[in-house]
């Protein structure tokens, strides 16, 4: 069973993404901060991480993505950004940090599940 980590400081968003993913056979984990994402990423080694950018605390989603991608233990986790930051510069930063795709909120649950199924094969 593939593991997916949803990282967002808003519980409602994490729940919505988890409900969206219920159509597949996935083990869903959640984190509410960049620091927690890195911790859970190292402990659980998820196949896919759906990462918000703007989160409170010392580490935002871009920093968490860079940390996970630069760590030999977690570099193979696929990361998709799911954020309210929709400017082209934001998208470029997300890809530069190591994300394979970038969704802006509000997002299409159907498009997200299609992308998840595509990247997890």
Residue 42 has what pLDDT? 98
* Cα–Cα distances in angstroms (integers) from residue 41 to residues 77, 84, 98, 106, in the given order: 8, 23, 15, 25
- 47, 77 in Cβ contact below 8 A? yes
Tell which residue, 56, 51, 47, has the closest CA to residue 37.
Answer: 51
Residue 61 has what pLDDT? 98
CATH code of the domain covering residue 11: 3.40.50.2300
- 74, 68 in Cβ contact below 8 A? yes
The 26-31 sheet, strands edge to edge? 26-31, 2-7, 48-51, 78-83, 101-104
The domain containing residue 26 runs over which residues?
2-120
Residue 38 has what pLDDT? 98
Tell which residue, 76, 87, 69, has the closest CA to residue 120.
Answer: 76
Domain count along the chain = 1
Mean pLDDT of successive 10-residue segments in the chain (121 residues)? 97 96 92 98 98 94 98 98 96 98 95 95 86
- 64, 50 in Cβ contact below 8 A? no
């Amino acid at each position: 069973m593939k593991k997916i980590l949803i990282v967002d400081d808003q519980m409602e968003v994490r729940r919505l993404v988890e409900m969206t993913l219920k159509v597949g056979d996935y083990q869903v984990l959640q984190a509410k901060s960049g620091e927690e994402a890195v911790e859970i990423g190292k402990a659980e080694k998820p196949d896919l991480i759906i990462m918000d950018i703007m989160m409170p605390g010392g580490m935002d989603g871009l920093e968490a993505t860079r940390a996970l991608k630069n760590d030999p233990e977690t570099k193979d986790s696929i990361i998709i950004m799911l954020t309210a930051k929709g400017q082209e510069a934001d998208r470029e930063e997300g890809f530069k940090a190591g994300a394979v795709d970038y969704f802006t909120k509000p997002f299409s649950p159907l498009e997200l599940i299609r992308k998840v199924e595509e990247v997890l094969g």
